[in-house]
Amino acid sequence: MELYELTLKQAQEFLAKNPNRKDELTKTLADRIKQVDSKLNTYINFDSKHAQKNGDVKGPLSGIPVSIKDNIVTRDWETTCASKILKGFVPPYDATVIRKLREAGAVIFGKCNMDEFAFGSSCETSCFGPTRNPWNLDFVPGGSSGGSAAAVAGRTAIAALGSDTGGSIRQPASFCGVVGLKPTYGRVSRYGLVAFGSSLDQIGPITRTVEDSAILLNVLAGHDEKDSTSANVPVPDYTSFLTKSVKGLKIGLPKEYFVKGLDPEVEKAVKQATSVLQDLGASVTEISLPHMKYAIAVYYVVAVAEASSNLGRFDGVEYGFRHESSNLRDMYFETRNQGFGAEAKRRILLGTFVLSAGYYDAYYLKGLKVRTLIKQDFDQAFQKVALVLGPTAPTPPFRIGEKMSDPLSMYLSDIYTISANLAGVPAMNVPCGFSAAGLPIGMQLTAKPFDEGTIFRAGSAYESATKWHEKVPKL
């Protein structure tokens, strides 16, 4: 086994036995990037000068390289959100999650490709060109954290951070055959995450195993006074849930999830995964999330409203790219016109529209009300069951270019993930099969707020009973 193939847990064990070989781990990964990343394009910015050692800091991640989605700010290291408007922006501070990783001894390794400002489901809207799916280079890796997920699957990263506003950790994890967790809203600090939809955004781990996800969440989770929406809720040791059996665990399958539009191969794989958990002692019942059919519509009101307001700060004055002009109005206009890509512009226009006087009540306020109904659906479900199980994405990965000219069909790929963000609940993608074409399929495990433990419990039990996570894409 090559060193770049190690899981995070295996890397911990390797370095415990070979403390002098820390640099080797970083170097083998850097060589791997040189070898395969011209095909995959998982990194926007990788520079061994920045992949500082940090290896002398003693901690649970001492010497272990972790890769970072490029919308999480890193001190003295360019952070672009894959947008021309932020090219050249070097943040003067670290995000809280970066500080925590450094304090745990991790090596901040590289900045991963993504959809521009995290708008997208395919990693094709990056101004640095698309990332490709390591299982088949003609297919998308999902998005928006497509670079992070493809890096973990393609072995150009050991573990990575992503961000998830409507599915951006879980859907690419599903498309790349890796584990991706969106924690409960408030579980992980958003300080230093470039805001998209502030009431929806969460940072989370993308890893090859459920165990690695728990190890990383232990480092990331916790209250942060720099983020007023972070929750002051005790952080358990998430690895303590890994060995627990699922005997007696109540799982609900929402009847609204298994309907027309769900690809038959995905349905089959998810149903088989359910049987595996049943065989391990879990009980499975049908439940209902009646307002789920409004999730995409509500999301594309709430998320674009927040995005249009958050993107107001990129005007050429303070950050990144500026189009010089003799008058101020043209400077603003051309900076934003040239700096933002088509999808970002679409969202700014939509968001400005739904927030404008005369429309605010009809769209934004109505959206917030339906959002409450979606949250109540989950509250009711979690009175009956401890875990909701379903597909992560309605289809296996699609081809590069397939959905770029049809934004609505692109938006539909998040149909199963968006409601967890609207409700603030934690949800994880766990690989559960492959299509006949050899592309990964994932299932989504959702629990009640701050109950990531139950997700780790079921996810790790499933992973121990199956071998999907052992498959490696050939590059």
- From 119, 191, 257, 468, residue interacting with ligand GLN (rule: CB under 6 A): 119
In the block, residue with structure tokens 């050899």: 438
**If DSSP codes are grouped into helix, strand and coil, which group holds residue 316?**
coil
167: contact with ligand GLN by CB under 6 A: yes
Residue 328 in tokens: 């101020």
**Interaction with ligand GLN in 190-219: which residues (CB under 6 A)?**
196
First to last CA, the chain: 15
Q: Which among 115-123, 228-236, 273-281, 360-368 is the span making contact with ligand GLN, rule CB under 6 A?
A: 115-123
Q: Which is nearer to ligand GLN, 211 or 414 (CB)?
A: 414
CB 139, min distance to ligand GLN, A: 17
Q: In the annotation, is 174 catalytic?
A: no
Q: Which is nearer to ligand GLN, 178 or 282 (CB)?
A: 178
Residues 6+ apart with CB under 8 A from 262: 391, 394
**Interaction with ligand GLN in 286-305: which residues (CB under 6 A)?**
303
- Beta bridge pairs of residue 110: 67
Asked if 205 and 149 touch (Cβ cutoff 8 Å), the reply is no
Size of the site for ligand GLN (CB under 6 A): 13
CB 366, min distance to ligand GLN, A: 19
Full 3-state SS string of 22-51? HHHHHHHHHHHHHHHHHHHCCEEECCCCCC
Which helix (H) or strand (E) segment holds residue 429: the answer is strand 427-434
CB 329, min distance to ligand GLN, A: 30
By beta-carbon distance, which residue lies closest to ligand GLN? 168
Asked if 110 and 70 touch (Cβ cutoff 8 Å), the reply is no
Q: Which is nearer to ligand GLN, 173 or 461 (CB)?
A: 173
415: contact with ligand GLN by CB under 6 A: no
What does residue 161 show for φ and ψ, rounded to 5 degrees? Answer: -105, 145
Q: Which is nearer to ligand GLN, 65 or 141 (CB)?
A: 141
118: contact with ligand GLN by CB under 6 A: yes
Rg (CA), the chain: 21
From CA 298, how far away is CA 43, in angstroms rounded? 32
Q: Which is nearer to ligand GLN, 28 or 165 (CB)?
A: 165
Q: In the annotation, is 69 catalytic?
A: yes
CB 363, min distance to ligand GLN, A: 17
Asked if 433 and 441 touch (Cβ cutoff 8 Å), the reply is yes
- The catalytic residues are 69, 144, 168
User: Which residues are at the interface with ligand GLN (CB under 6 A)?
Assistant: 118-121, 144, 164-168, 196, 303, 414
